[in-house]
Structure 1
Amino acid sequence: MNTEQVLDEFRGAGALREGHFILASGRHSPMFLQKNLVFQFPERTARLCKALAEKIEAAVGKPDVIVSPAVGAIIPGYETARWLGVPALYVEREDGAFRLRRAFKIEKGAKVVVIEDVITTGGSFREAVQPIAEAGGEVLCCACIVDRSGGKADVGFPLVALATVDVPSYAPDEIPPELAAIPAEEPGSKRLKA
């Protein structure tokens, strides 16, 4: 599956949006990939994650376990693990840091692939590998459905992306006037208020 085919899955689900968006990273962008509109369709998710599983296996071999940051990457992590025939775990925030919870365990020396959905800066990847390292797991790579950084995100490990696009994003003090003129939406969940 190539980048255009991946984006077609997003378009087909109405998940490729244009406007002014505040991303989970706090950066601003003229494009947002509303991945949950894709992941609500099992057949779309299966196509994407099967292709991602094949790309991972070709790049680093078969892992022992998949780990995803909660909540957004649980579905693609699970589905990719299904295609690889390995367990799917997730890390979730506790006191602001990702932790393995719910009796999840990673065996010392286990080969781990961290799965994300859409990345911009790679921040969640970098945070998610900490509890894996603490458990003694060996991170083979980080993998995602879409790398919207154009390959510039620093994840600290090899990155396997099903699709790579170069979508501009801007720090809050660098927003171009034409984007600033559009009211901003915060469609993600990272900073939702309780």
Structure 2
Amino acid sequence: MTEEEIIHEFRASEALLEGHFKLSSGRHSGHYLQCARVLMNPERAGNLARALAQAIPRDVRSQIDVVVSPAMGGLIIGHEMGRALDKDAMFLERPEGVFELRRGFRLEPGAKVLMVEDVVTTGLSSREAIAAVGREGGEVIAECSLVDRSNGEADLGVPFFPLITLNFPTYAEGEVPARLAMIPITKPGSRKS
């Protein structure tokens, strides 16, 4: 898929929103990607996952034992990546604020893991999820996401392969521009903060 085709999928599914959003990172933005909308159609989700799988170098793909994604945002694309790569897919949850495997999921010691996210902004959730995989006995060898919103600045500590990079500006709490501050805040993410 080309970048234009990918953006079209986000717009066609009303997944690219405009307003004033407080992101799960705590930063503010005039744009939000509601990836659940773009992934709600199974055919579209499968097409995006296959395109994302192709964005991962072949030598990395050949090492993957299992796909892991953080709930909630990474759940659907993680499952579809498992299908695209013909690998099992499991997810991390944070019932007490810290990511962990539940529901009988477990990693074989030393399992080579592909971490899959929907959107990476600061990389905080990704780093927390990668640390959880290490505590569970696996090794994250790479991460991929549908969208990189970090301007290429997210340091995940592993190779990172986004399907598309979108550089919408984000702002710290005290740096929100006046035009954005006038719009009521919506907090659509899954992180409580």
TM value normalised by structure 2: 0.94
Tell whether 2:113 aligns with 1:112.
Answer: yes
What are the superposed Cα offsets for residues 158-182 of structure 1, whole Å, 9 maximum, x if unpaired?
1110001111101111111111122
Structure 1 distance, partners of 2:57, 2:87, is: 12
SS in 2 for 1:90: strand
Quote the residue 1:96 is aligned against. Answer: 97
Q: Structure 2 unaligned segments of length 5 or more: list them.
A: none
Structure 2 distance, partners of 1:59, 1:14, is: 35
Tell whether 2:24 aligns with 1:24.
Answer: yes
Structure 1 distance, partners of 2:75, 2:65, is: 17
Structure 1 distance, partners of 2:58, 2:146, is: 16
Aligned length: 192
Whether the 8 Å CA contact 1:53–1:81 is kept in 2: the answer is no
What are the superposed Cα offsets for residues 26-75 of structure 1, whole Å, 9 maximum, x if unpaired?
11001111111111111111111111112225361231100000112110
SS in 1 for 2:173: coil
Structure 1 distance, partners of 2:190, 2:109, is: 33
For the aligned residue pairs, the C-alpha RMSD in angstroms reads 1.5
Quote the residue 1:37 is aligned against. Answer: 37
Q: Structure 1 unaligned segments of length 5 or more: list them.
A: none
Structure 2 distance, partners of 1:158, 1:4, is: 24
Structure 2 distance, partners of 1:109, 1:189, is: 29
Letter in 1 for 2:187: E
Tell whether 2:126 aligns with 1:125.
Answer: yes
Quote the residue 1:162 is aligned against. Answer: 163
Structure 1 distance, partners of 2:65, 2:58, is: 15
Identity of aligned residues (%): 48
TM value normalised by structure 1: 0.93
Deviating 4+ runs (over 3 angstroms): none
Structure 2 distance, partners of 1:43, 1:57, is: 24
SS in 1 for 2:55: helix
Letter in 2 for 1:47: N
Letter in 2 for 1:8: H
Whether the 8 Å CA contact 1:16–1:31 is kept in 2: the answer is yes
Whether the 8 Å CA contact 1:93–1:99 is kept in 2: the answer is yes
Quote the residue 2:136 is aligned against. Answer: 135
